[in-house]
Structure formats: C-alpha cells, structure tokens
Amino acid sequence: MCVKTTIRALHEEFNEHFIERDDEILGAFLAILANENVLYLGPPGTAKTDLARAVCRSIEGGHFFYYLLTRFTTPEEIFGPLSLKSLENDEFRRKTEGSLPDSHIALLDEIFKANSSILNSLLTVLNERQFHNGTEIIDTPLLTVFGASNELPEEDENLEALYDRFLFRYDVRYIQNEENVKKLLSGSLREFTPRGRLTVTRIHDIQARSLSVTVPDDIMAVVLAIKKELEQGGPEEKKTRVSDRRWKKIMGVLKVAAAANGDTAVSRPLLLLLRHMLWDVPEEEERLRALIIRNLTTGGVNMRTLESGIGNLRAMADGGDEIIVDEKLPVAVYAHDALGGQIIATSRDLVAAPAREGISYFTIETSTATPYPYHEVMEILREKYWFFPKKIPASDKKTICEQEYRYLRAEYDILEKNLTAGAGQWKNTPRENIWLTQTDCDELVEVRREIAAGLLVLEAKMNALRERIQTCSSS
C-alpha cells in the first residue's frame, strides 16, 4: 500500500474517533512525514493528548514519550538520569533510554512552562533533532514533537524561540456541532488503536522523494505575494513578520505534501496548508485563511491594488493638460533593469521614463526581493509619506499613461489566466489531494466565483481606461 493510500485510510479511521479534528489529524500526519513539530493550543479536555498517543500508535515500532511540564521540571525528567558509571570516569552523560531523545513521537504538555534549565537542550532537539549528551552529540529518532498548551507564551525572548519551532499550529476547541456532541456522548470509551500503519522507512522515503519535487514559478509568485502582503499589513491589519527559518521549513513541508500525494511539483491548492503555519495568535487564523485563498486563486495578483492603480491612472488621464507627480521622493527609489539584472539608478528625484519596459522599482523598505512597477512603488510611497507635486508637460501625458496602462494590463492578464486555470481544478481536489478537505475545496470554488465576478467589473474599467487614454492629448 502506497503512502497516499495509507494516509487517506488513517485519516478516515481517525475521523471516526476524533470528532471535528479534521485539520489537526491531517496536520499531525503531514508533520510526521515532514519531520516538523505541532502545537495544539486549547483548553483541557479536547483530546489533544489522546490524539498524539493515537498518532504514535500508527507508527510501526514507534516509541512515545509524554510529560507534563512545570516550572520545577528537571532535565533528568525529560532527557534521562545521569549515568553513575560515566561519572565514575569523570564524564557527564545521561541514560537516554525511554526519555525524549529516545522516542519517535513526543507530547510535551504545558510546553511553555519549560524553565531555563531545560530550554536550551529542548530548542536543539526540536530544531536539529540532536541532543548534546555530555561531549557527544547524538541524533534522535524523533519524527514529531507535539506541544500542548492552554495559553500562548508570554512575551519573552526565550519562549518566542521555542514557539517559533512549532511550525504547525492548531487552535483546538470544544466540539461545536450538536449532532457531533451526541456522537461523542454515545461513543465508546475504549482506547482507540488505529489499524493503519506507517513505517519509519516509508516516512524517510517520502522525505527523500520530496527533494526532487519542484516549486513552479507561479507557485513561488503566490508565496512571495502572501509574504509581501503579510509584511505590509493594511489600514486595519497589523504587519506579520514570519521568520526566515519558518518560510524555509514551509517550502519543505509543501514539497513533502506533494511527494506524499504522488506529485512531482507543488500545486496551488496545497498553498492552503499555509494557514496552519503562519499565525501567531488564533485571532489571525481567519484573516490569514482569506488572504491565502485569495492569493492562490488570483495567482498572487492583488485585486485591490490593481483596482486602485486603474482608478489612479484614470484620474491621471482625466486630469488637465499637465500631470501632477512627485518632485522629490521622501526616500531613495532604486531602478532595476530586469533584463540586465542590475541596479541602474538610485535617486530621490522622479526617475526618467518611469514605466519603460524592463525597468522595475523598489525602496529599502520594499526590499530588493520584490521589485514593483512604477505605479505600485509610488502607491506604497504615497501611503507612507506626504505627496510633493510637480507638473509634467502635456506632451508626455499620453506616453506615460500608455506605459502605466501596459503594466496594469499585464497584471490583469495574469489574474485572468489564473482564474481560467482554476476553473475546473478545485472541484476534484479532495479526491486527488489527500491533504485538503471537502470544506477547503468548497471554499476555493466559492472564492473563485466571487473573484471571477469582480474580474468582469475590472475588465469593463480596463476597456474604458484604454479608450480614455487614446483620447489624451499627445501634442
């Protein structure tokens, strides 16, 4: 039986026992395959411990380690007692048999109660899967460490480092649906032991196969668009900064998910998994979900920015004989030659021929990683700084409007292409992709329908804008 079939069977089997835990179940098995850690955040009595134990029982020959951490927990309780024989030889070593470094699956309850005496060793185990046993560094067999907590860590630098090492995060709540509550109350109290099994060998095989999985350019464009939007924030949204380590691990998870699904490349629907790996507090989850679905549907094109650009260009075209633009920019703007692959100008003055082909722009604040068309970088500057006007001769008006229109049209074409490509893709996703649920795919279909309706409005505005630009004076 292939891994895809095994995961699907385990998912169905677990769903029968763990009610309203669809995402948590899938996340647990994906974390095992990707060798990452999972945090279950939620009140007591939500089956967090039972789920972690059952997941371990699905690993053939898997050793499980459980411990409830307190501020008084000692390293001996987690990493094993000191070896008396080693001490006789003036060596500091622990007997790790049966402890955390000897397990395949571990659950550390009240994880954020870890004290400084065990924190440093715990950080290394969580990230590098290694344990410093005296002068020797040993590799642990750990596949996944589950962390459970009733509350988020307080603002403390050490705990932030610990929190960052839990890539998958789930807000586990009490069962909501009344019919599901009835099912829980009438269910058996017997300990759940899954029939399906994953072997460590097959898990390592998936990890090896994931190394050859590709990330297409259009997928990378969506990831970068999500990253940019998170870091820029919005009028009513705070900026979200995800560590470089987490982004690197996220890409690894996507490749593992594709490999386990039998694919050779990461597909757009898989990007929905990012919603479990990006939030810092549970309140952000719904906003992030909407942001991710919107971007993976549009291919990373921001419809609000596009619509704003169309409106600004229409205002420019409808203006008088002279165009009002910035005379002195508030920060330096870098002009980047995409064809030559180099920075060709750095200036606080208006860059000559701002929209000419092959030239894009960025500031130190927008970073060199994501150059923008002229109209976008100007929009960013206008949001941050005061606007200093300068007049451009009427003879340049039509040329500049046409150049800006070409940038807007290129963005629109990307959006239209992505919507067309996803027209029939989402409906079959649950049957083809083991990591997404029917609820996920129903939402993808609905969002695509809404964006397609918005695209018709944008198309009308684009056509009207093109006609208006043609009537601009070019004398």
Neighbours of 86 (CB within 10 A): 15
Percent of the chain with pLDDT strictly greater than 70: 79
- Tokens, residue 170: 């789930």
From 154, 152, 126, select the one nearest 140 (Cα to Cα): 126
Whether residue 199 contacts residue 62, with contact meaning beta carbons closer than 8 Å, is answered with: no
Tell me 74's DSSP state.
-
Residue-level pLDDT at 76: 92
> If pLDDT is split at 50, 70 and 90, which confidence band does 430 have?
low
CA angle centred on 394, ends 391 and 395, rounded to 5°? 125
Amino acid (1-letter code) at residue 313: L
Residues of the chain with CATH 1.10.8: 209-297
The distance in angstroms from the start CA to the end CA of the chain is 73
The mean per-residue pLDDT over the stretch 398-414 comes to 84
CA distances from residue 367 to 178, 308, 364, 460 in whole angstroms, order as listed: 50, 22, 5, 33
Residue-level pLDDT at 347: 47
pLDDT above 80: residue 397: no
Helix (H, G, I), strand (E, B) or coil at 36: coil
> If pLDDT is split at 50, 70 and 90, which confidence band does 35 have?
very high
pLDDT above 70: residue 390: no
Q: Which of 86-95, 109-118, 283-292, 323-332 has the lowest mean pLDDT?
A: 323-332
Q: For 208-233, how does the pLDDT look when each residue is reduced to its tens digit (9 = 90+)? A: 999 999 999 989 989 998 998 888 77
The mean per-residue pLDDT over the stretch 145-171 comes to 86
Q: pLDDT higher for 194 or 427?
A: 194
Highest averaged pLDDT of the listed ranges 50-64, 333-347, 392-406, 454-468: 454-468
pLDDT above 60: residue 328: no
Residue-level pLDDT at 388: 38
Whether residue 105 contacts residue 64, with contact meaning beta carbons closer than 8 Å, is answered with: yes
pLDDT above 90: residue 253: yes
Positions of E strands within 8-123: 38-41, 64-68, 105-109
The mean per-residue pLDDT over the stretch 246-258 comes to 96
CA distance 335 to 337: 7
Whether residue 130 contacts residue 140, with contact meaning beta carbons closer than 8 Å, is answered with: yes
Amino acid (1-letter code) at residue 103: S
CA distances from residue 447 to 22, 153, 233, 318, 422 in whole angstroms, order as listed: 21, 34, 21, 33, 11
CA distances from residue 452 to 334, 415, 418, 425 in whole angstroms, order as listed: 35, 9, 10, 15
Residue-level pLDDT at 330: 55
Q: For 345-388, how does the pLDDT look when each residue is reduced to its tens digit (9 = 90+)? A: 444 444 443 444 555 656 555 554 456 666 666 666 655 544 43
Q: Pseudo-torsion of CA 431, 437, 441, 446, nearest 10°?
A: 150
CA distance 379 to 373: 10
CA distance 438 to 446: 12
pLDDT above 60: residue 475: no
CA distances from residue 156 to 112, 115, 153, 165, 415 in whole angstroms, order as listed: 11, 12, 8, 15, 42
Highest averaged pLDDT of the listed ranges 232-246, 253-267, 328-342: 253-267
> If pLDDT is split at 50, 70 and 90, which confidence band does 316 have?
confident
pLDDT above 90: residue 262: yes
Residue-level pLDDT at 343: 46
Average pLDDT, the chain: 82
Residue-level pLDDT at 165: 92
Give strand pairing partners of 464.
Answer: none
Residue-level pLDDT at 2: 86
> If pLDDT is split at 50, 70 and 90, which confidence band does 118 have?
confident
> If pLDDT is split at 50, 70 and 90, which confidence band does 88 have?
low
Give strand pairing partners of 107.
Answer: 66, 146
Residue-level pLDDT at 360: 62
From 365, 242, 378, 379, select the one nearest 305 (Cα to Cα): 379
The mean per-residue pLDDT over the stretch 415-422 comes to 82
pLDDT above 60: residue 133: yes
Residue-level pLDDT at 393: 59
Residues of the chain with CATH 3.40.50.300: 3-206
Pairing of strands 389-392, 323-326: antiparallel
Whether residue 432 contacts residue 400, with contact meaning beta carbons closer than 8 Å, is answered with: no
Residue-level pLDDT at 386: 40
Residue-level pLDDT at 470: 87
| 38 CB-near residues (< 8 Å, 6+ apart) | 27, 28, 31, 144, 145, 146, 147, 166, 167, 168, 169, 170
Q: pLDDT higher for 140 or 341?
A: 140
CA angle centred on 147, ends 144 and 148, rounded to 5°? 145
The mean per-residue pLDDT over the stretch 262-279 comes to 93
The mean per-residue pLDDT over the stretch 155-162 comes to 75
Helix (H, G, I), strand (E, B) or coil at 272: helix
CATH class entry, domain 209-297: mainly alpha
Residue-level pLDDT at 226: 92
Of the CA atoms within 13 Å of residue 192, those in its CB half-sphere come to: 22
**Between 3.30.420.40, 3.40.50.720, 3.40.50.300, 3.20.20.70, what CATH number should domain 3-206 receive?**
3.40.50.300
Residue-level pLDDT at 374: 60
pLDDT above 90: residue 392: no
- Tokens, residue 229: 């939007």
pTM of the model as a whole: 0.81
Residue-level pLDDT at 99: 93
Whether residue 441 contacts residue 424, with contact meaning beta carbons closer than 8 Å, is answered with: no
